[in-house]
Amino acid sequence: SQKIEQNSEALNIQEGKTATLTCNYTNYSPAYLQWYRQDPGRGPVFLLLIRENEKEKRKERLKVTFDTTLKQSLFHITASQPADSATYLCALMKTSYDKVIFGPGTSLSVIP
Amino acid sequence: DTGVSQDPRHKITKRGQNVTFRCDPISEHNRLYWYRQTLGQGPEFLTYFQNEAQLEKSRLLSDRFSAERPKGSFSTLEIQRTEQGDSAMYLCASSRTADYEQYFGPGTRLTVT
């Protein structure tokens, strides 16, 4: 069955450092991979989408890579700030008309 | 506020009772999704609509769950004969067709006692 795994442990990093979050998937061939941010008690908020034919995507301090051979995406936050502390969710879609499947999320804490 | 809204925000019910949640999507969005989320997990897909048509329903969803989207506008999710295992956050999201970004509502937190 389809499975999405993200960093199993919460990630704690020092302010100013780069946070790197991992998303691995099995038994799935997504055409699109998304990253969302979720704060406690709130719905997820879309951050970035990357297509299977794209290796890398950037938006301000965020960078996403997508390796369809390794079945892995890496999500980087550079110059991290305490306000970046949240849970980050990886989400996959087979096609633009397909449902979205979410991973379990990784909790990130940026320590001042 | 032109975002996705959900009502109620919190619902406490006794086991065996029926509950209904409402979601109002962003007005120009054709697609509407329902998810369930428990603590420490990502949102779990339940069902989704393209306009008023229900395109897919999760195999994990028992017959106690039903969703509607009359006239392709707001949607309701009903849970019949609630069980303690139904306690979760129920999230609604909407998007434009073939537009990948989903906009989520604040969720309805259900507690079944």
Q: How far apart are CA B32 and CA B30, in angstroms?
A: 7
**Mean per-residue pLDDT, A91-105:** 87
CB contact under 8 A, A43 and B48: no
CB contact under 8 A, A104 and B40: yes
pLDDT for position B62: 79
- The distance in angstroms from the start CA to the end CA of chain B is 33
pLDDT for position B22: 98
Is the CB of residue A104 less than 8 Å away from at least one CB of chain B? yes
**Mean per-residue pLDDT, A31-53:** 93
- Sequence length of chain A is 112
Is the CB of residue B43 less than 8 Å away from at least one CB of chain A? yes
pLDDT lower than 70: segments of chain B = 1, 98-99
Which residues of chain A from 24 to 53 reach within 8 Å of chain B, CB to CB?
Answer: 32, 34, 41-46, 49
Q: What is the pLDDT of residues A58-69, one digit of tens each?
A: 999 999 999 999
Q: What residues of A are in contact with residue B56 (Cβ under 8 Å)? A: 99
Is the CB of residue B48 less than 8 Å away from at least one CB of chain A? yes
Q: Indicate the residue of A32, A96, A103 with minimum beta-carbon distance to B42.
A: A103
CB contact under 8 A, A99 and B93: no
Tell me what the pLDDT averaged over chain A comes to: 93
Is the CB of residue B46 less than 8 Å away from at least one CB of chain A? no
Identify each DSSP E strand in B38-107 by its residue range: 44-50, 53-57, 65-68, 75-79, 88-95, 103-104
Residue A23 reports pLDDT greater than 90: yes
CB contact under 8 A, A96 and B98: yes
pLDDT for position A9: 84
Q: Indicate the residue of A32, A41, A104 with minimum beta-carbon distance to B41.
A: A104
Closest CA to B48 of B71, B21, B9, B75: B75
At B27, which amino acid appears?
S
Q: How far apart are CA B25 and CA B22, in angstroms?
A: 10
pLDDT for position A7: 85
Task: List CB contacts of B45: < 8 A, sequence separation 6 or more.
Answer: A99, A100, A101, A102, B33, B35, B58
